[in-house]
Amino acid sequence: MKTCDEDHFRSIITTIFPELAPSRFELATAGWDSVAVDVDDRLIFKFPRHAVAEKALQREAQLLTVIRPQISMPVPNLRIISGPPLFSVHEKLKGVHLLTADYDRLPEAARQRLGEMLGRFYAELHGLDEAKMLAAGAGPVAPWQPVAAMRERALPMLTADTRQKAEAAIDAFEQLPPDPYGTTYGFFDGHGWNMAFDHANQRLTGMYDFANSGFAPVHQEFIYARFVSADLTERIIASYETRTGRAIDRQRVDILTAAHRLSELAELTDNPEHVDIMIDSVENWAGSTAL
């Protein structure tokens, strides 16, 4: 899909849904894989940009069909329109992204409520039947860049102080034994850009974008909330531990957080649009790490 023109998507949508002709259309996001169109602040249409994204959208719809009835967290009810072009539609989860500055302004009660809700979300996902998730299309989450690429491509992009911490984190990552709880089906994308947060009422109204969900080591689930806040990460882990009886190794989570961000930087060093963001994410980790 080469165009991101609003009129182009309006034409496609209203051909299938003529009753929406008088509606307000707005490009919600133009991501790497899909373009999202918001209609009347009520419906979200997602248009995959390429064949890989198209298959991922179909898989996401299948996964959500299994997930939705079994968890307490509101998630999208995706319906696939075969087209052409193929796209999806779902009722919009009311809310917007939760970023670090937003979280920092939340009072204690709202922070704790959010941590409890997300801890329950992960506990419920990790309790889903693996065979059913496999049958619905779940597979391994996307692999990270090799350690050699982290060293050769990411480390030279960093300041001296951060580079020293990153080198230590890579060394520690190489020496990690297998996850004590093995692998699980999980979300593995729980940063604030995939949260629908009602800022007026200081409540999470749902999670979305399950395209990157799949099977991965249990501890990896807890690294993504760190993009919002280390404080939120700790609250999520504490809630998860209470619900599951599992003891989550905070140092392991910290090491995985560093490795993930260094992997993303290694992957995008030649991408001028995103490389500075990736450098900042590593710098932010280095400023809060206990390593």
Give, as one character, the DSSP assignment of residue 127.
T
DSSP states of 65-126 as a string? Answer: HHHGGG-SS-----EEE--SSPEEEEEPPS-B---HHHHHTS-HHHHHHHHHHHHHHHHHHH
Distance CA 5, CA 33 (A): 16
pLDDT at 136: 96
pLDDT at 6: 81
pLDDT at 4: 61
pLDDT < 50 positions in the chain: 1-2
- Whether the Cβ atoms of residue 133 and residue 63 lie closer than 8 Å to each other: yes
Q: Is 40 left (phi over 0), alpha (psi -120 to 50) or beta?
A: left
pLDDT at 288: 87
Phi, psi of 182 (to 5 degrees): 70, -155
pLDDT at 289: 87
CATH number for the domain running over 100-288:
3.90.1200.10
Fold exhibited by the domain 15-91: Phosphorylase Kinase; domain 1 (3.30.200)
pLDDT in tens, 53-88: 999 999 999 999 999 999 999 999 999 999 899 999
56: nearest Cα among 141, 145, 146, 144 = 141
Give the CA count within 13 Å in the CB-facing half-sphere of 264. 16
195-198 and 203-207 as β-strands: parallel, antiparallel, unpaired?
A: antiparallel
pLDDT at 48: 93
pLDDT at 7: 87
Residue 230 host element (H or E): helix 230-244
Distance CA 35, CA 268 (A): 21
11: nearest Cα among 45, 43, 60, 53 = 45
Q: In the chain, what are the domain boundaries? A: 15-91, 100-288
pLDDT at 29: 67
DSSP SS3 for 195? strand
pLDDT at 2: 46
- Report pTM: 0.92
Distance CA 142, CA 227 (A): 19
Phi, psi of 52 (to 5 degrees): -65, -45
